Amino acid sequence: PEFGGGIPDGKELKCYHLGGQSGPIGFPEQLDTRYDHTSLKKQGLSIGSGAVVVLDDTVCIIDYLKKVSEFFIHESCGKCVPCREGNRQMYMILHKFATGLATEKDFERLERLSFTMATASSCGLGQSASTALDSCLKHRREEFQAHINGICPVCLNSRKYGDQYAY
């Protein structure tokens, strides 16, 4: 807190996104890590562009990942299928979680999609589009699970409002 004031308004740190939209997401239990390439890599984190986005505990991780996904849908040049269609599919599956319509099978779909995009996309944009998602699936799977049960742990309400897909 002495170097930035900490999280304002009495809220708690939820996570931090390192290195831009292509970068991994870190969590409070990983905070005690030196900000250098080797130390961060051991934690599955990276410096990337040097950007740091800090999120407090009022942010729903699914909503945040949807925003990341929107960025990649917008930025994809559309040349290769894993990136062009993969980002759209990722957004739609995340939207199912957000609206309480996801099932256990959607975990597998997300993981398979992430692997395909990371290994089969033609350039770094598509290859790194699922990096943030991977961090969250690894460290906050229970938040995805809660959405399957129809509850967002942030707003603590059922989110089965069934709105339309944006993409």
Residue 71: CB minimum distance to ligand SF4, A: 12
Residue nearest to ligand SF4 (CB): 126
> Could you tell me the CA-to-CA distances from 33 to 2, 17, 28, 36 in Å, in that order?
17, 14, 10, 8
Given the rule CB under 6 A, which residues bind ligand SF4? 76-80, 83-84, 121-123, 125-126
- Give the pair of three-digit tokens for residue 52: 């740091």
By C-beta, is 102 or 117 nearer to ligand SF4? 117
Between CA 49 and CA 121 the distance in angstroms is: 21
Q: Quick check: 136 and 25 in contact, CB under 8 A?
A: yes
Name the residue nearer to ligand SF4 (CB basis): 83 or 136.
Answer: 83
DSSP-H helix ranges across the chain: 37-42, 61-75, 81-98, 105-120, 124-127, 131-139, 141-148
By C-beta, is 88 or 109 nearer to ligand SF4? 88
Whichever of 57 and 88 has its CB closer to ligand SF4, that residue is 88
| Nearest approach, Cβ of residue 85 and ligand SF4 (Å) | 9
Round to whole Å and give the CA distance between 97 and 23: 22
Q: How far apart are CB 7 and ligand SF4 at their closest, in Å? A: 34
Q: Nearest approach, Cβ of 28 to ligand SF4 (angstroms)?
A: 32
